[in-house]
Amino acid sequence: MLIFVCAVLKGVSMYFMRMKLIIMSRLIEYDQKNEIFKHYQKMGQGFYSKNYTGDLMNRISDDVSKVRMFTGPAIMYSLNLSVMIIAVVGMMFYVNPRITFYVLIPLPILAIAIYWVSDTMNKKSDLIQQKLSTITSYVQETFSGIQVLKSYAAEKEFSKDFDTLNESYKKDNMALVKINGIFMPAVMGLVSMSILITLYVGGNAVADGTFTLGNIVEYIIYVNMLTWPVASLGYVTSLVQRGAASQKRIDEFLSFAPDEDAGQTVISELEEGIEFRNVWFKYPETDTWVLENINFTIKKNTKFGIIGTTGSGKSTIAKLIMGIYRPTKGEILIDGKLIESYSKKGLSHLLGYVSQDIFLFSETLSDNILFGSNSIADEKNLKKAIESAALTSEIESFPKGLETMLGERGITLSGGQKQRTAIARALIKNPKILLIDDGLSAVDTKTEVDIKNSLNNWNQEQTFINISHRISSIQDSYEIIFLDNGKIVEKGKHIDLVNREGVYAKLYEKQMALLETI
């Protein structure tokens, strides 16, 4: 009856222990994923330019999962092991301390083996996690660029590269398996050694009359009771080391300081304009100046054009206006105040941005256009924004209209449709500053004219900054700057720049000649 009661109590206590620890580990996993995701969102652009997307994904998924295994099963098995060893060894010492001492002789050997295995497994686990991140990044990048890959029929080359990465990952995993494979038989061998010691020492004690055959059987049962807890040391050690390696990788990213939003001033209206004053800029961890001594002023409610050679710094100016980066030297002023004094949230409401690299979510067309909108009034402007972006006819041709689901990154739309969707998304906010960075490059000339006319009628009290490689897109601007190698080489109105017969005029002649041949 006592044995039955003990068995029931053991089962009940094991159940509650498992429930508590598993629930705790899941809650830790939940909190850790939220913490990492929020930390990612606070990081600046420089952080993402240095780290691969696949690596970021791996740390918030696989690494967190391994930490969960450490805080759940590893602790559970460790507690079970500790309680079992204390209880069983205590009973063994109670029966016969001298024989118990001999039976436990293999334990120091086991401790040394665990120490060696732990150190080796820790190094291997860390290396394996790094290689898994590399594989994840490679796969993510491959499928993001699957259209390019297929257009060049490069499947075999990419498969070979993936095989190489996967083979390296497999080898390290197999090395870890071999360590585990050696460790487990070693543990079982030490357990068997304890049984042999029990038989030998116990047999001699029986011959001396200080021990009984029943005691020998009792000791063998005790040793067998210790077999699973001791054998689980290898599994627990593996969980602990993998969890420690993953936690180290997570802490590494959490240690990066987030991009601080020191600005306190909230801006909702543009009163005067934007001024670049002696601005120099180079990207973090580079020594090359991208912009040098940039000076210009964008007046409120005017059109401002930026054109220039490839790599001249046009998009960098857009990033500086949005506050994504800060100037290395010089000042950027909005309404006479440093851009750093404004909150980033306020700037985001003030600005509507259309980038070169259009990103659309795997949602409906309507959700993508209304992205970032907060008021019902935005839905009322939806039709107007669609018309201004020259999207009406395309949407009417879709079977589900605005409820059409877009593929990943908007893969179901053409380049021009993506750009026009992005323009509608920017307009729906009714921003005071509309910034388009080559956002009309994928549309034909007629559609471009229609969009420009619509933008002119959208909001008369809107500052329009147009960055383009086509003069036809910016020639009606109040002022135009021409960038070359990070410097402003020409500045003025379209007609003045053409009459000056400089680099702007030469580019204009080339583009006009090209249009005539079409």
Residues 244 and 294 in one domain: no
Residue 206, pLDDT score: 77
458 vs 456: CA distance, rounded Å: 6
Residue 457, pLDDT score: 63
HEC assignment per residue over 253-300 = HHCCCCCCCCCCECCCCCCCEEEEEEEEECCCCCCCCCEEEEEEEEEC
CATH number for the domain spanning 338: value is 3.40.50.300
SS3 478: coil
Instruction: Indicate the residue type of 184.
Output: M
Look at residue 362 and tell me if it is in a domain.
no
412 vs 361: CA distance, rounded Å: 11
Residues 199 and 244 in one domain: yes
Number of domains composing the chain:
2
Cα 334 to chain centroid distance, Å, stands at: 32
> Helices 75-95 & 213-254, crossing angle to 10 degrees?
150
CATH number for the domain spanning 207: value is 1.20.1560.10
317 vs 293: CA distance, rounded Å: 12
What domain range includes position 59?
17-254
Residues 233 and 291 in one domain: no
HEC assignment per residue over 137-183 = HHHHHHHHCHHHHHHCCCHHHHHHHHHHHHHHHHHHHHHHHHHHHHH
CB-based burial label for 463 (10 Å; 0-12, 13-18, 19+): buried
Q: Torsion angle, CA of 247/43/36/267, rounded to 10 degrees?
A: 160
61 vs 250: CA distance, rounded Å: 10
For 360, the token pair is 């659309």
409 vs 398: CA distance, rounded Å: 18
Q: Minimal CA–CA distance to 270: which of 431, 426, 425?
A: 431
Residues 243 and 350 in one domain: no
Q: Which residues pair with 405 in a beta bridge?
A: 364
122 vs 240: CA distance, rounded Å: 9
Residue 315, pLDDT score: 87
Per the CB < 8 A criterion, the answer to whether 342 and 267 are in contact is yes
Residue 295, pLDDT score: 92
Residues 33 and 108 in one domain: yes
Q: Count of CB atoms within 10 A of residue 57's CB? A: 15
SS3 67: helix
- With a CB cutoff of 8 Å and minimum separation 6, the contacts of 466 are 303, 304, 305, 306, 436, 473, 474, 477
Residue with tokens 């680099």: 503
Distances in Å between the alpha carbon of 513 and those of 285, 449, 506? 42, 19, 11
Q: What is the pLDDT along the chain (518 residues), one digit of tens a residue?
A: 555 665 677 677 767 777 777 788 788 888 888 888 888 887 777 777 777 777 787 788 778 888 887 777 777 777 777 777 788 788 878 888 887 787 777 776 776 676 677 667 767 777 787 787 788 777 777 776 666 676 667 777 778 888 888 888 888 888 877 777 777 777 777 777 777 877 777 777 777 777 777 877 777 787 777 766 766 766 677 777 778 888 888 888 888 877 766 666 777 677 788 889 999 998 877 888 989 898 988 888 888 999 988 888 888 888 888 888 888 898 888 888 888 888 777 777 788 888 877 777 777 878 888 876 655 545 667 777 787 777 777 788 878 777 878 767 667 777 777 888 888 888 887 788 888 887 666 566 666 676 777 666 666 678 888 888 888 888 888 899 999 888 999 898 989 888 888 888 888 888 787 766 65
For 399, the token pair is 């079977």
Look at residue 492 and tell me if it is in a domain.
yes
Distances in Å between the alpha carbon of 191 and those of 177, 278, 281? 21, 77, 67
Q: Which residues pair with 453 in a beta bridge?
A: none
465 vs 442: CA distance, rounded Å: 18
Q: Count of CB atoms within 10 A of residue 393's CB? A: 7
Tell me which of 254, 285, 302 is where a domain ends: 254
Residue 340, pLDDT score: 82
Residues 248 and 158 in one domain: yes
Residues 133 and 239 in one domain: yes
Residues 248 and 128 in one domain: yes
Q: Which residues pair with 504 in a beta bridge?
A: none
Look at residue 266 and tell me if it is in a domain.
no
Residue 369, pLDDT score: 81
Q: Count of CB atoms within 10 A of residue 332's CB? A: 21
Look at residue 409 and tell me if it is in a domain.
no
Residue 280, pLDDT score: 92
Residues 321 and 198 in one domain: no
For 87, the token pair is 């209880």
Look at residue 368 and tell me if it is in a domain.
no
pLDDT digits (tens, 9 = 90+) for 426-461: 888 778 888 888 766 656 666 667 677 766 666 667
SS3 content of the chain, % helix, strand, coil (to 5): 65, 10, 25
Residues 127 and 24 in one domain: yes
Look at residue 418 and tell me if it is in a domain.
no
Residues 231 and 326 in one domain: no
- With a CB cutoff of 8 Å and minimum separation 6, the contacts of 415 are 442
Per the CB < 8 A criterion, the answer to whether 488 and 307 are in contact is no
Residue 144, pLDDT score: 67
Look at residue 382 and tell me if it is in a domain.
no
372 vs 348: CA distance, rounded Å: 10
77 vs 68: CA distance, rounded Å: 14
Residues 114 and 181 in one domain: yes
- Strand ranges (E), 373-503: 433-437, 463-467, 479-484, 487-492
